[in-house]
Amino acid sequence: MEDIEKKIIEIRRKIHQYPELGNEEYRTAKLIEQTLKQSGIVTKRLSKTGVVGLLNGKRKITNGERCIAFRADIDALPLEEKTHKLYTSKVRGKMHACGHDGNTAIVLGAALILAEGKNIFSGKVKFIFQPNEESSGGAEELIKAGVLDNPKVNAIVGIHVNSHLPSGKIGVRYGEMFAAVDRFSLKIIGEGGHGAAPHEGKDAITIASQIVQALQNIVSRQIDPLEPVVITVGTIKGGERFNILAQEVEMTGTVRTLNEKIHLQIPKLMKKTIKSICSSWGVKYKFNYEIIGYPLTNSEKLVEFCEEVAKKTLGEKNVQRIDKPSMGGEDFAEYARYAPGCLLYLGTNSGKATAYTWHHPKFDLDEKALFVGAKLLSVIALDYLR
C-alpha cells in the first residue's frame, strides 16, 4: 500500500508537469494506459485521448456481474502556473489548475489497489479517463462511443479534489450538485443615423439595454424565488462612433439553472421577451440558444451508499455534507443522466499553499489526500460488488 501511495503522487506530478488542454491529452492518455496495463487491466481508446480500463473480479460467486465505473477528467487549463514547486508545469500557458491531475491519479490509484485485490471480488470495475471536461463535450463524446455499455455500467462515481475542504475529508452532496450550462447569443439589427436625430433611426444600443434589463426581470419576476436561476450577459458590442446611432448590437451570455423544468422554460421566456421588445421598436433580431450541459443531480441511493462507505473507511468526522449546490457546470452530469451517479469531493486543503480555489494560477493540492481518495474508491467498488 505504501508503494501505491508513492506511485499515486509520482503519477500526479508527471501529469502536472505536462498539462494538456481538452482533446489534446495524448501524453496523459499514454501514461494512463501504461499504468493500467502494468497492473493487467485491459484498456481501450474510445476517442482520440479518452481511455477506458476494465478490471474483472476473479471471485467465483457472482451476483449477476454488476459493473461500477469511476470517472476522472484529465484535461488542463490555458493558464500560466504561478506556483514554484518542483513539479510546476513545464508547459508555458498551460496548467492543471482544476486538479484534474489529482482526480486522474486518484482513479489510477484505485485501479492499482483493486488490481491487487481482484481475487476478492466478483463483477467488473470500469475506469473512465475523460478528456475535455473544461470546455464541455468530453463526457458526451465518450457516452456516444459507448463508454457506459459493454458491460453496462450500473453505477458511476466521480471524485473531484476540493481546496475548500480540509485535506482528506470527503464532501457528499444529496440532490442537485451542479447547474445546467447554457449559452446564448443575440444580434439586434437597428438602423443607423445621426446621434443628434435619434427619432430618424432605430438605436440598437437603447433597445439592447432594455433587453438586458428585461432578461434580469425574468429571473426576479417570472421565476419562483426559491428556484436558483442566473442569466448573465457576458459580452456586448455595438456602435461605431460617439455621434452615430448604433446600427447593430451583439451580445452573448450564459444561463444557469438547477431545476430541469425551469432549465427548459427559460429559453421560451427569453424568446418571448426579446421578441416583444424588438417588435415594439420594429427591428429585426437573431437569437440563438444552446444547451451545453445538463444539471447534475446525484442519485440519492448512491450518495447514501458512498457516504456510508466513507464513514466506515475514514471515520464519521471525515465525511461532510455539502449544503449548497454550485451554479457552475460539471459534465459528470451527462453520465448521471444514463446511470445512477454520484460525484464526491475530496478535500485537499492543508494550509495557505493549498487553499487557492479552482482555476487560480497558484492552485495546488495536498498530495497526501490523494491516497485517501483512491482507498475510498476501492472500498466503494468492493462493497458495491459484494
Contact positions vs Zn ion (CB under 5 A) = 98
Q: Minimum CB separation from Zn ion for residue 77, in Å?
A: 7
Which CA distances in Å does 265 have to 210, 294, 296, 365?
21, 14, 18, 39
Residue nearest to Zn ion (CB): 98
Rounded to a whole number of angstroms, the minimum distance from the CB of residue 224 to Zn ion is 29
Residues 285, 345, 367, 384: which is the catalytic one?
A: 367
The widest CA-to-CA distance across the chain, in whole angstroms, is: 86
d(CA 358, CA 161): 9
Q: Active-site residue 191, yes or no? A: no
| Cβ closest to Zn ion, residue 72 vs residue 172 | 72
* Cβ–Cβ < 8 Å for 107, 34: no
Catalytic residue among 18, 87, 285, 294: 294
By beta-carbon proximity to Zn ion, the closer residue of 67 and 365 is 365
**CB 328, min distance to Zn ion, A:** 8
Rounded distance between C-alpha atoms, residue 282 and residue 260, angstroms? 34
Query: Which is nearer to Zn ion, 258 or 343 (by Cβ)?
Result: 343
Q: Are 331 and 338 in contact (CB under 8 A)?
A: no
* Alpha carbon distance 139, 330 (integer Å): 10
Q: Give the span between the Cα atoms of 33 and 291, in whole angstroms.
A: 33
Active site residue 367: yes
Cβ closer to Zn ion: 98 or 249? 98
Measured from the CB of residue 72, what is the shortest distance to Zn ion in angstroms?
Answer: 10
Q: Residues with Cβ < 8 Å from 6, sequence gap 6 or more?
A: none
* Residues that are catalytic: 294, 367
